[in-house]
Amino acid sequence: MPGMIANKVFYKMVIVSIITLSILNSCENRNKQDSETELKIFFINDNHAQIDNFSKIKYIIDEAEEEGKVILVSSGDMFSGNPLVDFYEEKGFPVIDLMNRTGFDLATLGNHEFDYGQEVLQDRIDQASFDVLCANMTSQSPLLDQPEATAIITAGDLEVQFVGVVETNGKPGAVIPSTHPSKLENLVFTDAAQTLGNYSTLKEDSGADLLILLSHLGHNYGEGATSDYSVAGDYPFFDMIIGGHSHSIQDTTINGVHIYQAGSYLNYLGKISLDIKDEKIISEEFELIKLDDYDNYSGEIADLVESYNTNPDFEEVLGTNNTFLTRNRTVGCFYTDAIRGYLQTDISFQNPGGIRADIDEGDITLLEIYNVDPFGNRLLKYEMTVSDIKDFLEGTGTGLYYSGVVIESDPGTGVIIKDQQGNILESDRVLSVAINDYIPNIHESYFPEPAEVYDITTAEAIISYLRNLSEPIDYPKCNRYFRYEE
């Protein structure tokens, strides 16, 4: 009898405990459904190895975390654009170190994450204390592990589900990101539009409060191209898109999907303040924080940034510039003159996307040249007929800076190539061409085997050219840019 009584008491206690727990869970769920929850999402995109403002981001995030729930993410292109980072002993290491210390929760791969090569990218992913996503890449490479497609970030009682994608517009007729094709061996990419439909029920399946696309597609590239705008139109199950790649400022809504982007080069920090209820956004406010105008910063991170910025080798003066050169025109004149002058060819070409900075008036330093040309593309020389060059310009319609000739377009005859005295060159005339190895890799059907492959980068060629100049460079009104349009 005593044993039976004890068992009855025990079972009653278990039943009471279960009922109590059920009531508590019910109350918790009801409270979660009936009340609004605040969340702040901070983000950057396209910082391109710029690091100076991480100390300010750290201060902002620390302050925000004292007030409530915070998530911090990057939508890609963490690397390429700052020689102090790109040519650091471990390429890209300073960016990931600073992102770790600043408190990033997540990033997606951008096209320039591949610039250092797969092995270095894997090192940087291993270094990161946050996940790096890419849903539209399959790795068959021994050098790069398969990244996760999605991740859930928990902020208090909220669970936020992210999907990450990268653009794939890097080469006509191919589905690859915009980086040197040689860096993508054994990696298979899919247009994001063919991938994102797989995640239509992800929010419900995971029980997340929000579903966010962390996108490196660019905000809008016109009809037929997959972009943040087209994704919002076709896949409205995303609560929002935090984008990158197009270096723009976005705060818009398409088909009920909110789209954000925060410029580039760590000039801004995006801040999205949300009220969430029943797995829906009740209210939403966007603030673009201009970091250059922000006064407060973390002293610890500022000291670390200063240590990464201190490299006397990059202060070497290579030459002198008489006029300020802009990256979108006059730098192209200097650049093409320099690689043509270095190889002593008849003509040279350079793609505008491979020129990343202005050149200030006055002393030209090593740092400035690597800022202009950070990608490490190799220098090639080709022997091509005038007809071959015209076919390339007409067939691709690509815009290029050039040197050594005059290039014009005639509605009736197409491209016309003249010498510098204005004489039209015959179609069978053979010209020597200086060019980086990215352009022939993208447009390989227009290029024969190179006449010479140099064990030197285009940046190194420009540096050598400057060191051997006795006079300042001077480009007050130069515009040698050509793009064929029918």
Average pLDDT over residues 18-28: 41
Task: Return d(Cα 261, Cα 250) in angstroms, integer.
Answer: 5
- Condensed to tens digits (0 to 9), the pLDDT of residues 415-432 reads 999 999 999 999 999 999
Instruction: Decide: helix, strand or coil at residue 52.
Output: coil
- Condensed to tens digits (0 to 9), the pLDDT of residues 357-391 reads 999 999 999 999 999 999 999 999 999 999 999 99
Q: What is the pLDDT of residue 235?
A: 98
Cβ of 127: how many Cβ atoms within 10 Å? 15
Domains recognised in the chain with CATH numbers:
35-309 (3.60.21.10), 313-482 (3.90.780.10)
Task: Return d(Cα 210, Cα 164) in angstroms, integer.
Answer: 14
Task: Return d(Cα 99, Cα 106) in angstroms, integer.
Answer: 10
DSSP string, 330-348: HHHHHHHHHHHHHHT-SEE
- Condensed to tens digits (0 to 9), the pLDDT of residues 260-278 reads 999 999 999 999 999 999 9
User: What DSSP character marks residue 444?
Assistant: G
Assign 3-class secondary structure to 158-204: EEEEEEEEECCECCCCCCECCCCHHHHCCEEECCHHHCHHHHCCHHH
Whole-model pTM above 0.95?
no
Residues 6+ apart with CB under 8 A from 26: none
Mean pLDDT of all residues in the chain?
Answer: 93
- Condensed to tens digits (0 to 9), the pLDDT of residues 453-468 reads 999 999 999 999 999 9
- The model's confidence at residue 435, banded by pLDDT at 50, 70 and 90, is very high
pLDDT of 30 strictly over 90: no
State how far the alpha carbon of 296 is from the alpha carbons of 51, 98, 267, 271, in Å: 16, 17, 15, 17
State how far the alpha carbon of 3 is from the alpha carbons of 7, 15, 17, in Å: 6, 18, 21
Q: What is the pLDDT of residue 34?
A: 58
DSSP string, 63-78: HHHHHS-EEEEE-S--
User: What DSSP character marks residue 147?
Assistant: P
- Condensed to tens digits (0 to 9), the pLDDT of residues 55-66 reads 999 999 999 999
pLDDT of 1 strictly over 70: no
Q: Is 75 within 8 Å of 269 (Cβ atoms)?
A: no
Q: Is 404 within 8 Å of 419 (Cβ atoms)?
A: no
- Percentage of residues in the chain with pLDDT exceeding 90? 90
pLDDT of 102 strictly over 80: yes
Partners of residue 159 on adjacent β-strands: 154
- Condensed to tens digits (0 to 9), the pLDDT of residues 155-185 reads 999 999 999 999 999 999 999 999 999 999 9
